[in-house]
Amino acid sequence: MEGDVFSCRGKQGVLAEAVRLEIKEGLPPRSKLQEFVRQTIVPQLREKMAAGTFPLRIAIDDGDVGIDITIDPDRSPYSSGGFAAYDVPKSKDQNPLYNALKFKAQQLRGASGLIGVIVGDGDCAALSARSANSSEVSTGEIIGEFFRQFSSIDFVLLLSVHERRQGRAAYLPLVRESDASLFVREGCGVRAELSALFSTMIKHFPKPAMMPVNGALRAREDDYGLGHHGGYSMSGPRMVRLGLREFTEIFAGLRLLQDNGAKSVKAARQLHQESNPVHAIVLSNLMAGRLPERINVIKTGEDDNDDWVEIHFGEVDPAVAPLR
């Protein structure tokens, strides 16, 4: 690489507006490159920066390594470049989105009627909300190539979740919203009907609880996620509320109240266990001779993934009360 100029900026301002790197002989082996930069390049840069002489120039030629580095802050800020993120699509037909569409199209080969593919985002960069730059292909270009290769497919619906902050302040909570992008093959006569159908459908979607990457990870787990595990409330000494899912798991013998709602029961029991207030209330009522007289299930909203159980303890039952 000879005479390559690029822009380099640091967190505290402009570190270097233009850097010129000329390789005359070669560089150290890759395994020793980091050590070479740390022990040879960085000390010389610091020395020249401390002296205040600009442009900074480092020339090394010892037979094995020959490089010439020039850092000139006065170079035009418009001579700059960059690199795209590693996960962005660079080819219309060589990327995870196209591969998934192709696989589904092959499954639908020979099907009749209106044919379409609905894609759920599992943390795919092609479906993210960020804008495409000149070095990557857009989602529309990928879908267009897919329609060109598989003319039997009439539409593609992309479903994802986008996350944004309510305002500029960092302390404001993030808002997650379902996002749907409809692509219809040129010449398909039901574009308006499909658009109306899917627009109505997405209005009935539940509020997203996770971003696609977290949802995909949870989907790969063997069991379901936690609900109100570990949560509780009490109203006096004779009523306690805990999560319905945790209550059912306790009733099934999968966990104890003393596990404090831990995801991994086995791991939790290897650590020091804190006392559990719900266990203390239940035990106290039992030792006093009070048994549950009423158990109510408290339903939560449709966006919640767990309900609550309220246990009300009755008056002292002589059959189990201690003798006095």
Question: Residues 205-262: pLDDT tens digits?
Answer: 888 877 887 777 777 777 767 788 889 999 999 999 999 999 999 999 999 999 998 8
Number of domains in the chain: 3
pTM exceeds 0.85, yes or no: no
Q: Is residue 323 part of a domain?
A: no
Do 79 and 166 fall into the same domain? no
Which helix (H) or strand (E) segment holds residue 7: the answer is: strand 4-10
Do 254 and 295 fall into the same domain? yes
Q: Is residue 259 part of a domain?
A: yes
Q: Is residue 182 part of a domain?
A: yes
Q: Is residue 201 part of a domain?
A: yes
* pLDDT tens, the chain, 324 aa long: 344 443 343 333 334 445 566 665 567 777 778 888 888 888 888 887 777 777 778 777 766 677 777 777 666 454 444 444 556 778 888 888 999 999 999 999 989 999 999 998 877 877 775 545 555 788 899 999 999 999 999 999 999 888 887 766 666 778 888 889 999 999 999 999 999 999 999 988 888 877 887 777 777 777 767 788 889 999 999 999 999 999 999 999 999 999 998 888 888 888 888 889 999 999 999 999 999 999 999 999 877 889 999 999 999 998 888 876
Do 161 and 261 fall into the same domain? no
For residue 287, the 8-state DSSP code is H
Long-range contacts of 81-89, Cβ-Cβ distance < 8 Å, separation of 24 or more: 81/6, 81/7, 82/6, 82/7, 84/133, 84/135, 84/136, 85/125, 87/125, 88/125, 88/126, 88/132, 88/133, 88/135, 88/136, 89/125, 89/126, 89/136, 89/137, 89/142
Q: Count the Cβ atoms, other than its own, within 10 Å of residue 303.
A: 9
Query: Could you check whether the bond before residue 89 is cis, i.e. omega within 30 degrees of 0?
Result: no
Distance CA 245, CA 156 (A): 37
Alpha carbons within 13 A on the beta-carbon side of 57: 5
Question: Helix 139-149 crosses helix 96-107 at what angle (to 10 degrees)?
Answer: 30
Do 267 and 193 fall into the same domain? no
Do 213 and 100 fall into the same domain? yes
Q: Is residue 121 part of a domain?
A: yes
Q: Point out the domain boundary residue: 164, 194, 218.
A: 218
Supply angle C-alpha 85, 90, 91, rounded to 5: 160
Distance CA 115, CA 184 (A): 11
Which helix (H) or strand (E) segment holds residue 104: the answer is: helix 96-107
Instruction: Give the domain range for residue 276.
Output: 232-316
Do 254 and 286 fall into the same domain? yes
Q: Point out the domain boundary residue: 158, 187, 218.
A: 218
Q: Is residue 321 part of a domain?
A: no
CB 321 within 8 A of CB 255: no
Q: Count the Cβ atoms, other than its own, within 10 Å of residue 20.
A: 17
Do 117 and 205 fall into the same domain? yes
| Type of residue numbered 208 | P
CB 58 within 8 A of CB 41: yes
Do 262 and 306 fall into the same domain? yes
Do 68 and 104 fall into the same domain? no
Q: Is residue 294 part of a domain?
A: yes
Do 29 and 71 fall into the same domain? yes
Q: Is residue 2 part of a domain?
A: no
Token output for 72: 């000139």
As to burial, measured by CB atoms within 10 angstroms (0-12 exposed, 13-18 middle, 19+ buried), residue 72 is middle
Do 72 and 105 fall into the same domain? no
Do 214 and 237 fall into the same domain? no
Report the candidate in 162, 177, 180 with the shortest Cα–Cα distance to residue 118: 180
